[in-house]
Amino acid sequence: MIEMKDVMKKYSNGTTAIRNISVKIEQGEFVYVVGPSGAGKSTFIKLMYREEKATKGMLNVVGYDLIKIKNKNVPLLRREIGIVFQDYKLLPKKTIYENVAYAMQVIGKRPREIKRRVMEVLDLVGLRHKVRVFPSELSGGEQQRVAIARAIVNTPKVLIADEPTGNLDPENSWEIMKLLDKINTQGTTVVMATHNSTIVNTIRHRVLAVENGRIIRDQHEGEYGYDD
């Protein structure tokens, strides 16, 4: 599903963010990516959906070679990957329904199919009753649930979540985690960067610890392993 071999990322300013990382994530896994600030977690995550391009090595995600992929084919890759950010990135002038539907409209799905699927995922995230509401009328937790609905509406093989609970209180964080776990049990691979030690230590999954651009720990049902 995701495979890296000797992947390195060096920025134009000379900073090496990722150093010779080799890792394999299988279909259906749930993986936490942890580590101190500035360790390379964000770059590691961004390489997977080609927000950043690896400087060298082999990187394969859902069948795409991300070293050789042409820019025009990156949108095809991203149809197979759902992405959830810390700050939701919802469109403020579109309703909740329109925000989620938009992800299907841009790839040319039919209106009837869009309506059925959008209602299905809004049901899954518990927001079917808020279809006509705008993002500003929702709580942070609700906005993040909409963002997750949008990320999974095209049935991606992989869901990448970059600090999805970073802006949320503990109660909403647990709701988001229950939702991500549910999506994972339905077969979607989940890769989640997080600083939330309580979540990692309570809801156990594989842990990749990144420090100084390297994976220093790869642990099945691991612990967070850092002081907050």
Whole-Å CA distances, 202 to 73, 172, 221: 39, 15, 10
User: Is residue 112 included in any domain, yes or no?
Assistant: yes
Digit-coded pLDDT (tens) for 89-122: 999 999 999 999 999 999 999 999 999 999 999 9
Residue 97 lies inside a defined structural domain of this protein: yes
What are the DSSP E strand ranges found in the chain?
A: 2-10, 16-25, 30-34, 56-61, 64-65, 81-84, 158-162, 189-193, 206-211, 214-219
Q: Does residue 186 lie within any of the structural domains?
A: no
Cβ neighbours for 212, distance < 8 A, ≥ 6 positions apart? 19, 39, 40
Looking at residue 38, its pLDDT comes to 87
Task: Judge whether 44 lies within some domain.
Answer: no
Report residue 40 CA to chain centroid gap. 16
Helix ranges, 30-166 (H): 41-48, 74-79, 96-105, 111-124, 140-152
Buried (b) or exposed (e) across 29-46, using 16+ Cβ within 10 A? Answer: bbbbbbbeeebbbbbbbb
Structure tokens belonging to residue 225 = 């392993």
**Which structure tokens are listed for 65?**
């070679």
Residue 227: the pLDDT is 75
What global pTM score does this model have? 0.94
Residue 125 lies in a domain: yes
Residues of the chain with confidence (pLDDT) below 50: none
Residue 10: strand pairing partners: 16
> Count of domains in the chain?
1
In a domain, residue 43? The reply is no
Q: Provide the residue range defining the domain that includes 99.
A: 91-155
Q: Is 114 within a domain?
A: yes
Structure tokens, 143? 């906005």
Secondary element (H or E) of residue 182: helix 170-185
Residue 171 maps to a domain: no
pLDDT at 226: 85
